[in-house]
Structure 1
Amino acid sequence: MNTTWNAVGQGLRRGVIELRHVLGNAQDLGSNLIWLVGLLAPIYFLRDDQLAGSDLSVATFVLPSLLSMCVGFNGLLMLAQLLVVEREDGTLLRLKALPQGMLSYLIGKIVLISGMVLVAWVVVLGTGAVLVEGLQLGEARRWLTLLWVFPLGLLAMLPLGAVIGSLIESPRSIGLVMLPVLTLAALSGIFYPISGFPTWLQVVAQVFPLYWLGLAARSALLPDSALAAEIGGSWQHWETFAALGVWAVVGMLAAPVVLRLMARRESGSTMARRRDLALDRRPA
């Protein structure tokens, strides 16, 4: 038990140090936030388009959903990318020798990515307050919704990123994850209500945590008149809590196991083999 708590403490310290480094370095901070430009572009171009059957603009509907994309992109892609890169440079091999090293590593990354998502949320909400009308930013109960959705959503998405990162062999393959993530975003109603989708597609969308994240963010920031565009005309807070909770529990149980299995395969010889393959692929 002492070893476990030691690993938790080391992971928290590691995450805080890495977060300070990113926030204190303009180049690192910019590279981590540049993708927000692509996410926020639809807000500008759709701010005058009306959502069918609603008194809201399409941009007003989309902006809360972008908050869930911040969690999804960072939780899945950022963690997967960090895991692949740090496996290749030997970081994970060194942690393998430490008691509960993988647990410490995972906690550190959770702290780092949580901080980056919080920064991204500030940017998205600040942009929305300037460009978008109709957001309900003045009610305390809506901020309370965001307060429980934020950590629970991260706990649901981050283990998925850890599992995906453990399965990717090379940093050059990380781009292959982008297409499934963007497809999942479209399927989850990030850009348009899924109530207009075929019933079977609605069922598939509700299996994944990104749909519930988007729904919860919309419940926090949109007026109740927006319920007309949602399935069943309800914000489904209890269902959201249950769905994200299940993903979080299963993921947090599975991710350390997957990371330990991956670490067991790491050795000096496997690192040398990957390095030789990378050198062979370089153009002459």
Structure 2
Amino acid sequence: MNPVAHAVRLGLARGWIEFRHGLTSSTDIYFNAFIAIAFVVVLYFQREVTLPGTNLSLSAATLPGMLALLVVVGGLAGTVGTLSVEREDGTLLRAKALPHGMTGYLVGKIIVTSAGGLVTMLIVLVAGLVMVPAIRQPGAGEWTLFAGTVALGLLAMLPWGAVIGSLISNPQAAGGLSMLSISLLTTTSGIFYPITSMPEWLQVVSQIFPLYWLALGMRAALAPDGAVAAEIGQSWREFETLGVLGLWALAGLLLAPPILRRMARRESGSAVQQRRERAIQRVG
């Protein structure tokens, strides 16, 4: 068997095993349940409220943004945090010892992070479809768009999370940088309000990054037809959405493995021990 294909197959198996293990971890279950419940509670209290000057339910406008944010936080911040921690505890050092181990490691992280995020997203989506009557009842075309947006969104976020995590060894600094990046992009990408309300130069900048297109794809699949009036060009731009997300995913998948391998070459038993000692000092 081709060595790279074998590494990918091992990564798929590893990701599935880690996901099943997470289903038995009370910490992971409580954390994901807390996020899902918090989002559902917000939707519940917004269901009777309309956006000023429109008949659009606030919850109908919020739900697509929530789902997009779950993809970003799980894919980017989740990967950054996991990679930083696993550099510190020696997991990456062990993966480095295997042939094409970093490729298998990256595939495993994509699987386990995607699967865990999809569970939380499914809870919020089902609750939203039940509680928010204004949400479009998706047909086959809308569900296809939704699935494609989620898949490409995860592939656009996860590898870049691995890139950021490989460049920063301190878990606290890595987590802070990833959340700061998400906060800035969320503020300027029109996830929860129309991007057309922003200056034109900022609209152009926001369209460079995948977060805007991820939220747009979610709205195209779920938001009422009338909501398109608030979008750029009064169009959902489905093909552009999938194209931009696909380009970000392709770039991340091409860049992440060599960057991870370069980072792994610097890993050693002594480096892991030093990071463990620094971690103990932080806790102490």
- What CA distance in whole angstroms lies between the structure 2 residues aligned with 1:2 and 1:224? 48
Question: Structure 1: where are the runs of 5+ without partners?
Answer: none
Q: Give the corresponding residue for 1:61.
A: 61
CA positional deviation for 1:219? 0.5
- What CA distance in whole angstroms lies between the structure 2 residues aligned with 1:129 and 1:189? 22
Q: Give the corresponding residue for 1:32.
A: 32
Q: Give the corresponding residue for 1:8.
A: 8
Give the secondary structure class of the aligned counterpart of 1:99. coil
Q: Give the corresponding residue for 1:76.
A: 76
Amino acid at match of 2:76: L
- What CA distance in whole angstroms lies between the structure 2 residues aligned with 1:80 and 1:273? 20
Q: How many pairs does the alignment contain?
A: 283
Q: Give the corresponding residue for 1:259.
A: 260
Query: For the Cα contact (< 8 Å) 2:32–2:120, is it kept in 1?
Result: no
Q: Give the corresponding residue for 2:147.
A: 147
CA positional deviation for 1:56? 0.9
Quick one: structure 1 residues 119 and 99, their matched pair in 2 at CA, closer, same or farther if it must change by over 3 Å? same
- What CA distance in whole angstroms lies between the structure 2 residues aligned with 1:70 and 1:119? 11
Deviations 1:185-216 (A, max 9, x none): 12111111111111111111111101101000
Q: Aligned-pair RMSD on alpha carbons?
A: 1.7
- What CA distance in whole angstroms lies between the structure 1 residues aligned with 2:264 and 2:246? 27
- What CA distance in whole angstroms lies between the structure 1 residues aligned with 2:84 and 2:217? 31
CA positional deviation for 1:117? 2.0
Query: For the Cα contact (< 8 Å) 2:153–2:214, is it kept in 1?
Result: yes
Amino acid at match of 2:85: V
TM-score, normalising length: structure 1: 0.94
Q: Give the corresponding residue for 1:249.
A: 250
Q: Does 1:219 align with 2:195?
A: no
Quick one: structure 1 residues 193 and 41, their matched pair in 2 at CA, closer, same or farther if it must change by over 3 Å? farther
Quick one: structure 1 residues 91 and 214, their matched pair in 2 at CA, closer, same or farther if it must change by over 3 Å? same
Give the secondary structure class of the aligned counterpart of 2:236. coil
- What CA distance in whole angstroms lies between the structure 1 residues aligned with 2:223 and 2:22? 32
Quick one: structure 1 residues 45 and 179, their matched pair in 2 at CA, closer, same or farther if it must change by over 3 Å? farther
CA positional deviation for 1:36? 3.4
- What CA distance in whole angstroms lies between the structure 1 residues aligned with 2:248 and 2:216? 16
Quick one: structure 1 residues 111 and 262, their matched pair in 2 at CA, closer, same or farther if it must change by over 3 Å? same
Q: How does 1:166-181 map to 2 (within 5 A)?
A: 166-173=166-173, 174-181=175-182
Give the secondary structure class of the aligned counterpart of 1:34. helix
More displaced stretch, 274-283 vs 172-181: 274-283
- What CA distance in whole angstroms lies between the structure 2 residues aligned with 1:180 and 1:236? 25
